[in-house]
Structure 1
Amino acid sequence: MRRQRRPIFGLVLSLSALGVALPGAAQTLTLSEADLEPFDYRSIGPTRQSGRFVDIAVPAGQSKVFYMATGSGHLWKTENHGQSFDVLFDDEGIYSIGDLEVAPSDPNILYLGSGEANNSRSTYWGDGVYKSTDAGETWTNVGLPESHHIGRVVIHPDDPDVVYVAALGHLYSENEERGLYRTTDGGDSWEKVLGPVVEGKHIGVVDVVMNPLDPRILYAATFDKVRLPFTYDLGGPGSRIYKSTDGGDNWEMLTNGLPQGMLGRIGLDLFDGDPNIVYATIENANKEGMSDEDRYAELLGHQSSAGMIGGEIYRSDDGGESWRKVNADDEPIGGQPAYYYGQIVVDPNDADVVYVMSVSTYKSVDGGQTWQPRALGHGGDDHALWIDPEDPNHLVLGHDHGMGITWDGGANWYHPDFQSLAQFYAVGYDMSYPYRVAGGLQDNGSHMGYHTNPAGGPIRFEMWDRVGGGDGMYNVFDTCTNRYLYNESQFGPISRLDLETGERTGIRYDDPDLRWNWNSPIQVSPHDCDVILHASNRLLRSENRGESWELISPDLTKADPATLTTGRGGDGNIQYATITTIDESPLVEGLIWVGTDDGNVQVTRDGGDNWTLLNDRIPNNPEYWVSRVEASHHEPGTAYVTYTGMRRDDFRPFVYKTTDYGESWTSIAANLPQGPLNVIQEHHDNPNFLVVGSDFGVFVSVDGGGSWTAMKNEMPTNPAYDLAIHPRDDDLIVATHGRGIYIADVSALAQVTPEVMASDAWFFQPEDKVRWEGVDFASYGSSNFDGESEAEEVSLYYWLGDGAGDVTFTVYQGNMAIAEIEAPNDSGLHEVAWGMDKRRERSAAEQAEMRERFERFGRPAPEDQIRYESAEAPIGEYRVVMSVDGVERMERTVAILRDLWVDDRR
């Protein structure tokens, strides 16, 4: 067995013998972002499945250059037809993109509308329009911060200062800033030129197209919808098509031949060769035989839209003066659901060739009279399509599983496999060597891989296994055996996967009266790995790995009938009034905390026989979606809870702590910036070390929540949707919703105390390191991902106060010094590395021979290589001494461990 890492508080206790005071209650202790820079993240993927691309922009006449915008993974640019990409817009204050446009008259000028316009339950907002004048290298926010979701940006063909922006506005609440905006000065100022108010509600604009031959002529589509945490009202009387012939000063609603009444999302496009030919894809939300009044009342009452007319395609050949429906009455086109798609694309080479984005792309070659589903043979949940105006067989497709590039009209596709865009919902880990991580992805199943390549080298995309389908959700290991993985897809289907035999067993508790969250929580009991908890609106417990279940709670939600208008929730692919998070105390069996999407926090201390609702004991309780409950590893009465207000358009951070089983709670949000919180983790050894995952990244506290510091480092701005701290390896595992998994060693952070920070020098206990001996016989694809493995070295973390002199670390094998590392001496937290090698000083004759060898080959002679011979340090234990100004200050021991588990790996 691998030797267990020394407990962190073993370090603190050993120091008490030296007269160092031990910490009692947490003291205020703030780290700077610079202090956290040594804690590097590693990006490990997965990448094969890629992620959701929502828009494509190509500079005029430069088909090998294109930009691909994502829903939550930033902006990707290629200059070589997609063979490689640079990631842009990844350090801004926002990460979700609705639309991107390149100025036709200047390829260096880009306008980016932030905030995805596909209005799903997992859609993130933006903070306005960004502009670049250097082809995407740098960006400036030029306004419209309350636009939140931007459906389309169009730029005047000759004047890049004239721009139109279709703003949907807030997703979960009403706001005036919805509408179509125009700037004539490059974004210095904006004017709303179209913003209908219908039935007292401000209506947003989802699409706008410009006549390229006469840019004064524009068509715009408004979108009347309501999304709430528990439903989606997909249409209303405010969804219409408008036309302007004077650059947006005046607008006319187009009605001749178009449906009226209750409409949903509308998409527009026109034929560049004859801009009088205009197409529209319209979600017709009317129901045959039902009056407008009754249908509108049904929508306002959040009733089901089942049985409505559905997707229709309309065409105008006279610039919108008249329209005709071109698809057959019994053949709805698009939708499924329209709020997630809604795009129509006309081939710039042929007015009769039209594509409609949907679960798969529809194609018509006769002006919309007949349609071929699944026409492209690639993709799935398609959102964007670009057709080369010089070559109709050259297409680029953006979809939920990445992008596709074809040069032969879709007969063959190239899909880049190296784009780290995984949108995780949850992450789990096991206790194998190296340990495995597994997690569920939006629309891309569940994936499992090692946290590092045991053979050394990069983590390739082929090293990941697909362990579940559907929309991947929770993946929880049996860490007692590392053999079983409990895997889930959307709305609660759970299976037990035997990782040794590959056998999968469906173990879902079948009860049609239960409601399941999109991401229904699973937990393996920390007291017995045969015991599994799974949550719907009631909590279930299995004593036999899911072979049978018992309900151990009543309905723990509010179960407000107003939120259950169709039995389980409204339209919008939602089940509501469900349990979102569970946690059984690792200290006391049967002490279980539960949170729900409708704001309840409950606790049982007797395994479910009795439950206590805690809502009225939480001060200023928002009673929003409970994103996480976390039971303490140190005190049974201590727990934490986070709420996310994202589904209420409230972006404040909410995090609370109790120390008395929920009788009272204290906010520990302290100095956390704006950003909904998804998760909180308490360190298993240090109760004052807390980590939260925000919609804008990771924040850490070393004083129990008294203060927080952003730990961004090289991680791009992205939602930290789930977190875990590995209890053996002390790695922080971050599952982002847009850029895959990141891992950072936080062992030293868990050792930070006020006494440490008050000292002039401190050497943290290093972690023992395995020297991996894995052999990799796999053949890998050439187009691949260089996921970052652990460095083959021992990290030495230390703290310095002000005014330190020279700092060195000397490694001893017995009493023989085998390595010396010079280290930075400025104040703060630092990390240097010992490469697990030993150095012997060569004799004078050996040095002369080495120097001659370098000279013989005409190479410079590095003095360090001339003077020292380097070899692997053998397996065993070493002393490491930290010296400051030549004085030995602190000593630690660290071990290089043998890799004993090569045969256990696949």
Structure 2
Amino acid sequence: MPVSPLSRIRVTAAGLLAAVAALASSGATLSAQPAAAADPMIQDLRWRNVGNANLVGRISSVDALENDFAHVIVGSASGGVFKSTSAGAAWTPIFDKYGAASIGDVKINQTNPNIIWVGTGEECGRNSAAWGDGVYKSTDGGTTFTNVGLKDSFNIGKIILHPKDPNTVWVAAIGNIYGPIGTRGVFKTIDGGTTWVKQTEGLPNDPQTGAIDMVMDPSNPEILYVSFWQRIRYPWRLNSGGPNSGIFKSTNGGRSWRKLINTLPTGDMGKIGLAIARSNPKVLMAHIEHGFQPPATLPTPGQPAQADGGGGAGGRGGGGGTPNPEYADMTKLGAGIYRTENGGDTWTFLDRYLTRPFYYNHIGISPLDDKYIFSYNIGYRRSTDGGKTFTQGGGGNGGHCWHAMWHDPHNKNRYYIGSDGGLNLTHDDGVNDLRFENLNVTQYYSVSADMREPYYLCGGLQDAGSSCGPSATRAQGIYLSDWFNISGGDGYHTQQDPTNYRNIYSESQPDRQGGNIGRSDAETRSRTSIRPSKANISNWDEYITPEMEKKAEAMNWGVQPQQMGPLRYNWSTPFILSPHNPKAIMIGSNHLVMSLDGGATYRLISPDLTQNDPERTSRLSGGMTPDENPGGGAEYHATIITISESTVEPGQVWIGTDDGNVQVTRDYGKTWAKVGTAGMPGNPRPDIWVSRVEASKHTNGTAFATVTGHRFAIYKPFVYKTTDFGKTWTNITNNIPDGHPMYVVKQDPKNPDLLFAGSEFAAFYSLTGGQSWQRLNNNLPTVAVHDLLIHPRDGDLIAGTHGRGLWVMDDITPLQQMTPAVRGAAAHLFDNKVATQWLSIQPQHNGGEISFIGTNPSRNAAINYYLSDRVTGEVKFEVSDAAGRNTCSASFPAKAGIQKVEWAMRLNTPAPPAGAPAPPAGGSGGGRGGGGAVGACLLAPNPAPAAGGRGGGGGRGGGGGAGGVTPGTYRVTMTANGTTYTSSITVRADPMLADINR
């Protein structure tokens, strides 16, 4: 039913900039902290990377040695930096423990490849783009890096190295996209990064305009060209373009600059990409965003007009209709591709191609032929006549949405090219591409799990749909062939039916984002749309009036007909399956929609739960170039962004919105209470983005919430808790360091004081209900943790990272049992998980050397224990059968914290006689003792990180070989400081055997 208007926040752009600047100056940290050392309490709790790498992720930069293309460095949008000396046959992550994971540019010193420069913070201006903390330098080939400055530059567009002097470097810093904070512009060092000087003479120097691209004359390092981009992004709109954007030239190494304006379009410009010809440095290409964007065709009489924008191959505004004479008239300068052959004195307008310039506008020139031009955007186009005409490039073998390119200066047909789909290498000018599926920089937004054994994971990925795969396999590792897609395009939330694994729900393309929920069959892979619409919402008229429909129709410029009128869906539409009924689905738009029959029919169960500010719901974004994804809702605002239903009280549903509301109902939407965020202590804005709400799994009326202010250039973390249904909130952020905007908080289902949280750079845990927090990274790289999940049966912690795929921390049951009494004890032997004697089933092949292999858990049984620092010497363990006759024993040095011993599920008994049936096979060589017929039966855990890749699978020692135990319960004893502790461990056969024997 209609309700009284909610409070609205309206500010002018200038007012918002001033407010953001004030907030930033009042204590908001501008950059992340370097990764901390592992917490000794949890040093034996390790993460393993399970994948999925066959969908890869956005590549932002690539550089290689000019005399050895096999020596290559790759920067990813949110997954760090990788190095290969084998042309991609193997990759080494070289930037995992530094202060940022988003990379703007990488450069290798061509005369000394041990010198590597990394500019952090990618250059694209999309809604999910991350940021960095300045410029890093390595002098040992990437073994170590040092931050050498510009820490508050946030995003780096380009690094230029002097060809002869390794100490002279220029940096084009774009600066913060969300507010007028930090540094931006062109910076130069002549002492290897010890000091930096901002180059200001003749350049823009305002808080919205930064340097986006820069090129150097290869014959004269004193001649530089740089493009500046004036832009700002709000949560509800991108404003790209302004009078300070443009192209500038220096002939004295950057001391002074002049703006190039002759024969270029007049008026405001936006993002500009640059390229210079190595074979003829007087030739440059520029891809310019400009406000004049005539459509390629005019509408046929009686047909609706198309959105403005350049047409051309793949451009906006193409399609049917009458050819537009303005589009063909190249004397009318506007957005598109320009060429100069005299160093920028004059330019020729060649092509009106334009598509989402804030994300693309990339241009390149072959170093061997100044006529051979590359325009790489959604697709990549090539020209052999200097840009007069273009043809579509190669298919890219899975690549799409191109962002980075490196051309071999000795081979015109060889180049690396990076995209949203990863990195490709071609040796024949794109006729064939080699795609590196051993480079896992996959960008997950969410993660879910089912109840199979082993359980399967699903998640939505940036520009790669939604994919699913096993958390573990019976093979050596988790292969790319184990994964499957359930939808394409951009993927977001997924949910899996806990009672029927075949039912997988996801929100993503191909039917475009924005409430497009579908149900897929895990076996047949068929997909059925269950998107809510007027046709299947039974009580539409109770909440939606004809006037609201007309208003929404008027705002839906250029939108696909399936847009749902007044229902505003976020780009990442949240939905959940009720913990009380998996056929009950709740989907968030600005209203909450609920189905009780798996998505066949729906009811609206709320009024508009957002602040519904009309200035923020216009659905127009892009600035001078309207964003061509109106159906996707990348900047749709005033929407529900997170939903959680209480497991304690059915009908108690919490929602959070992207404009600062937290609301709760206890009766499935009959009544609602607005309970935040204005009352949250320390919250800097009443319209802040509520990134997660989490209803308590233990206590009625208790909930947790995270809010993130980074979209307002506020980088402090915020985690909250309520115990009275949101009437009051407590800030439980406490010692989480500044610079960590928070994305998710989760309460453990077994231990109410055990909390987990994820930020842009790390995972955290608390054993005290949020009174104090510790990092949970261990071997998890610096990466954005967008989602966390505790598997309810297996007790594993699962992280969906936006840059390095899915990670699993096996067996967090010690943390679940870590009560204050245990922490106060000298030592403690935990209850153990059931151990499984998994079969070994190997595939015929594993995908080859350029195929990522996800890491399996150890096949051994885990025995977990805790030691305080009062325990010294050695700790003895013994595992025996029920009668205590057959044993396995070993001693280990005492170390404080939660520790782990692995039991190979063997006792010290003679090997079975010849001809006796073999016990289940051991691990397949993924670590010490694997394949295990012999060896110690009690082992210390392998301390090596389980990061996946080649040879990353397999358990060690596990469960097989001579003396393998039969399923049953075994006694475990631990002796520490003379005191004996006892527990038990149950061993079971592989459940596949039970299925076979049915």
Q: TM-score, normalised by structure 1?
A: 0.89
How far has the Cα of 1:499 moved from its partner? 2.5
* 8 A Cα contact 2:421 2:464, kept in partner: yes
* Alignment partners' CA distance in 2, 1:791 and 1:835: 10
Going from structure 1 to structure 2, the CA distance change for 1:201 and 1:125 (only over 3 Å counts) comes to closer
* 1:316 and 2:316 matched: no
Counterpart of 1:515 in structure 2: which amino acid?
R
What's the counterpart of residue 737 of structure 2?
673
Q: What 5-or-longer segments of structure 1 have no aligned partner?
A: 1-30, 290-297, 299-304, 844-861
Of residues 415-424 and 363-372 in structure 1, the stretch that sits farther from structure 2 once superposed is 415-424
* Equivalent residue letter for 1:721: H
Q: The residue matched to 1:353 in structure 2 has which SS?
A: strand
Equivalent position to 1:731, from 773, 780, 796:
796
1:863-906 alpha-carbon deviations (Å, 9 max, x no partner): 979xx994211111111111124x4521111111122236869x
Matches of 2:200 and 2:272, distance apart in 1:
16
Residue type at the aligned position of 2:817 = Q
Change (3 A) 1:234 1:569: closer
CA–CA distance in structure 1, aligned partners of residues 981 and 750 of structure 2: 22
Q: Is the 8 A contact 1:208 1:221 kept in 2?
A: yes
Q: Closer, same or farther in 2 for the Cα pair 1:480/1:202, shift >3 Å?
A: closer
Q: Does 1:264 align with 2:317?
A: no
Following superposition, the deviation at residue 821 of structure 1 comes to 2.9
How far residue 272 of structure 1 moved from its aligned partner, in angstroms, is 1.1
Whether 1:792 aligns to 2:816 is no
- Matches of 1:693 and 1:522 in 2, distance apart? 20
Q: Which residue of structure 2 lines up, in the alignment, with residue 168 of structure 1?
A: 174
- Whether the aligned pair in 2 keeps the contact of 1:568 and 1:576 (CA below 8 Å) is no
Q: Tell me the CA shift for residue 137 of structure 1.
A: 1.5
One-letter code aligned to 2:754: F
Specify whether residues 538 and 46 from structure 1 end up closer, same or farther in structure 2 by C-alpha distance, changes over 3 A only. same
Q: Helix, strand or coil for the counterpart of 2:615?
A: helix
| Aligned CA distance change for structure 1 residues 777 and 593 (closer, same or farther; 3 Å) | same
Tell me the matched-pair count. Answer: 835
How far did 1:574 drift? 1.7
1:610-662 alpha-carbon deviations (Å, 9 max, x no partner): 11111243223334111110011111110000011221221111010011111
1:826 is displaced (CA, Å) by: 2.8
Q: CA, structure 1 residues 132+74, in 2 after alignment: closer, same or farther (shift >3 Å)?
A: same
Partner residue, 1:530:
583
Query: Which residue number corresponds to residue 828 of structure 1?
Result: 897
- Please say if residues 618 and 665 of structure 1, whose CA atoms lie closer than 8 Å, have aligned partners that are also in contact: yes
1:59-138 matches, cutoff 5 A: 59-138=65-144
> Alignment partner for residue 976 of structure 2, among 879, 884, 888?
884
Task: For 1:179 and 1:196, locate their aligned partners in 2 and report how far apart those are by CA, in whole Å.
Answer: 11
State the Cα distance separating 1:376 from its structure 2 match. 5.5
2:421 is the alignment partner of 1:401: yes
* Secondary structure at 1:35 match in 2: helix
| Correspondence for 2:875 | 807
Q: CA deviation at 1:197?
A: 7.7
**CA offsets 1:223-242 (integer angstroms, 9 cap, x no match):** 01111111111211111111
Q: CA separation of 1:464/1:756 partners in 2, compared to 1, >3 Å: closer, same or farther?
A: same
What's the secondary structure of 2:406's corresponding residue? strand
Residue identity opposite 2:881 in structure 1: Q
SS at match of 2:692: strand
Q: Percent identity?
A: 37
CA distance in 1, matches of 2:207, 2:171: 20
- Distance, in Å, in 2 between the alignment partners of 1:146 and 1:435 is 42
Alignment-derived partner of residue 55 in structure 1: 61
Q: State the 1:395 CA deviation.
A: 1.3
Tell me by how many angstroms 1:440 deviates.
0.6
Match of 2:848 in 1: 782
For residue 443 of structure 1, give the secondary structure of its aligned residue in structure 2: coil
1:592 maps to which residue?
Answer: 653
2:802 & 2:183 partners in 1: Cα distance? 27
* Counterpart code for 2:983: R
SS at match of 1:831: strand
2:520 to 488, 497, 515: 497
Deviates more, 1:246-255 or 1:809-818: 809-818
Larger mean Cα displacement after TM superposition, 187-196 or 112-121: 187-196
Q: Within 1, Cα distance between the matches of 2:642 and 2:276?
A: 47
Q: How does 1:479-498 map to 2 (within 5 A)?
A: 479-489=498-508, 490-498=513-521
For residues 535 and 46 of structure 1, the distance between their equivalents in structure 2, rounded to whole angstroms, comes to 28
Q: 1:740 aligns with which of 801, 805, 808?
A: 805
Match of 2:953 in 1: none
Q: Which amino acid aligns with 1:828?
A: G
Most deviating of 75-84 and 798-807: 798-807
Distance 1:376 1:501, change over 3 A: closer
SS in structure 1 opposite 2:412?
strand
Shift of the 863–132 alpha-carbon distance from structure 1 to 2, 3 Å rule, reads: closer
SS in 1 for 2:772: coil
Distance 1:198 1:91, change over 3 A: closer
Pairs within 5 Å for 1:327-346 = 327=351, 332-333=352-353, 335-346=354-365
Report the alpha carbon displacement of residue 733 of structure 1 after superposing the two structures with TM.
0.3
Contact 1:804 1:827 in 2 (8 A): no
Shift of 1:480: 2.0
Which amino acid in structure 1 is aligned with residue 973 of structure 2? V
1:244 corresponds to which of 242, 250, 255: 250
- Say whether residues 1:602 and 2:625 are aligned partners: no
Q: Once the 2 structures are TM-superposed, how far is the Cα of residue 817 of structure 1 from its aligned partner?
A: 3.6
Compared with structure 1, are the counterparts of its residues 547 and 776 closer, same or farther at alpha carbon in structure 2 (3 Å cutoff)? farther
1:503 to partner: Cα distance: 3.4
SS of the equivalent of 1:749 reads helix
Q: Return the match for 1:508 from 531, 550, 565.
A: 531
Distance 2:194 2:206 in 1: 30
1:879–1:892 CA contact under 8 A, matched in 2: yes
- Please tell me the root mean square deviation across aligned C-alpha atoms, in Å: 2.4
Corresponding residue for residue 952 of structure 2: none
- The answer to whether residue 526 in structure 2 is matched with residue 464 in structure 1 is no
2:583 counterpart SS class = coil
One-letter amino acid of the structure 1 residue matched with residue 97 of structure 2: D
Partner residue, 2:766: 701
CA distances 1:736-794 after superposition (whole Å, capped 9, x unpaired): 00001111121101111221121111111111112223634454321322211121111
8 Å CA contact 2:84, 2:91 repeated in 1: yes
SS in 2 for 1:901: helix
Letter aligned with residue 714 of structure 2: D
Question: What is the TM-score of this pair, normalised by structure 2?
Answer: 0.81
Judging changes above 3 Å, is the alpha-carbon distance between structure 1 residues 287 and 370 closer, same or farther for their aligned structure 2 residues?
Answer: closer
What residue is the counterpart of 2:560 in the other structure?
Answer: none
Q: 1:592 to 1:306 in 2, by over 3 A?
A: farther
Instruction: Measure the CA separation in 1 of the matches of 2:207 and 2:961.
Output: 77
Q: What does residue 679 of structure 2 align with? A: 617
Match for residue 561 of structure 1 among 591, 596, 614:
614
* Cα shift at 1:377: 4.4
Which segment is superposed worse, 624-633 or 199-208?
199-208
- 2:218 aligned residue: 212
One of 814, 819, 826 as aligned partner of 2:888: 819
Structure 1 residue 502 displacement after superposition:
3.6
Q: Write the distance in 2 (CA, Å) between the matches of 1:274 and 1:504.
A: 53
Runs of at least 5 residues in structure 2 that lack an aligned partner in the other structure: 1-36, 296-307, 309-315, 319-326, 328-332, 534-563, 628-633, 913-933, 938-959
Q: 1:319 and 1:188 mapped to 2: Cα distance?
A: 32
Letter of the structure 2 residue corresponding to residue 381 of structure 1: C
Tell me the amino acid that sits aligned with residue 322 of structure 1.
T
Distance 2:156 2:180 in 1: 15
Are residues 1:686 and 2:777 paired? Answer: no
Contact 2:78 / 2:101 at 8 angstroms: preserved in 1? yes
- For the 8 Å contact 2:692–2:705, the answer to whether it is kept is yes
Distance 1:486 1:842 in 2: 49
Match of 2:21 in 1: none
1:643-658 equivalences under 5 Å are 643-658=707-722
SS of residue paired to 1:326: strand
Alignment partner of 2:909: what SS?
Answer: strand
- 1:148-163 equivalent positions in 2, closer than 5 A: 148-163=154-169
**Number of the residue aligned with 1:39:** 45
Query: Contact 1:418–1:461 at 8 Å: present in 2 too?
Result: no
Does residue 772 (structure 1) correspond to residue 791 (structure 2)? The answer is: no
